[in-house]
Amino acid sequence: MTAATTTSPAVLATRRLGRTDMTITRVGFGAWAIGGPDWLFSWGAQDDAASIRAIRHAVERGVNWIDTAPIYGLGHSEDIVGRALAEMSADDRPYVFTKCGQVWDPQDRHTKFRVGKAESLRQEVEDSLKRLRVDVIDLYQMHRPAQDGTEIEDYWQTLVELKAEGKVRAIGLSNHDADQLRRAEAIGHVDSFQPGLSAIQREALEEDVPWCAAHDTGVIVYSPMQSGLLSGGFTQERVASLPADDWRSRDPNFTGEALRRNLAVAEAMKPIAAKHGVSPAAVAIAWTLAMPGVTGAIVGARSPQQVDGWLAAASLALDVDDMAAIARAIRTNEAGQGPIPA
């Protein structure tokens, strides 16, 4: 660790990621927001130096994996992660997970194309290796189903080959469904699956996560705080003040009646947080980690302070009463979609 380290690494709870040889902390650092401004799903302008400090701080506090993607800032997020990794010794470096299958027009930063052709995926892995400054990517995930006519069997075969060639250690699917997982599994084992999951977005609990549990496929979920809505820090007024270049200002979950319902669920998490002496954000994340079959949760941060706000989720065990209170808030307010675990 660098000379700037001031906090001894914590011992965080871990779980094995599927059948891989990787044992990961129950929370990982999410690098979507640090991609910066001026792209289709930007979170607005970011301070790159603060982002690097946040990554280093998370690792110093014991987090042992980072999740990013080329589309996050059109390479910028991967570059920032690579810069942070370059400051760490080989022994201190966390696992690095990234994705493929989404490319853009260099002349138009607000484009996004979902591709699955082998030549594109092979070029993408080389580009990611360079930006991340690593020799091997620990987990390589197809970001979304291809829309260029490439069947899942074909693009999954490419990932199987990249793993066999040693470019990546493990392979996974993100934002696919159980039928697609089954089709990929027939070609080669799906090491990991990444769905969106929160107390608001629960659809993956219907079939996808149970399929993974039955097939030794690790599950790392994203947006456990529903992009901040369940962090405890959002109000109607704060949402109204989001800048136009923040994608959340256009998202249905942040508008109208859905926003009211979602904030009601967030409000119900506050007394639970007070009971355990943690932040509401930690409660929202711990809710996802309580779901059978979930290995870990990806949590974004843009400063060391934000990391400290959610780190307690890694060891927070919600009790029966906590889960019932959250279920009651979801049901009473008819918030979100998907099964409502008791």
In whole angstroms, give the CA distance from residue 81 to residue 303. 14
Angle at which helix 76-86 crosses helix 48-60, to 10 degrees, equals 50
What type of residue is 106?
P
d(CA 20, CA 172): 11
Are the C-beta atoms of 68 and 98 separated by less than 8 Å?
yes
Distance CA 51, CA 46 (A): 8
* Residue of 22, 18, 13, 21 whose CA lies nearest to 293: 18
Residue found by looking up tokens 């892995």 in the block: 125
- Dihedral over alpha carbons 316, 321, 322, 324 (to 10 degrees): 140
Only one residue has tokens 């962090």, namely: 231
- 72, 95, 140, 222: the catalytic one is 72
Amino acid at 49: A
Task: Count CA atoms closer than 13 A to 17's CA, side-chain side.
Answer: 29
Q: Please name every residue paired with 96 in a beta bridge, in sequence order, or none if there are none.
A: 66
Supply 159's token pair.
Answer: 């990932």
Q: Which residues contact 92 (CB under 8 A, 6 or more apart)?
A: 1, 59
Residues whose CB falls within 8 Å of the CB of residue 126, separated by 6 or more in sequence, listed in order = none
Is 72 one of the catalytic residues? yes
State the Cα–Cα distance between residues 286 and 297, nearest whole angstrom.
9
How far, in Å, CA of 202 to CA of 271, rounded? Answer: 22
**Residues with a known catalytic role:** 72
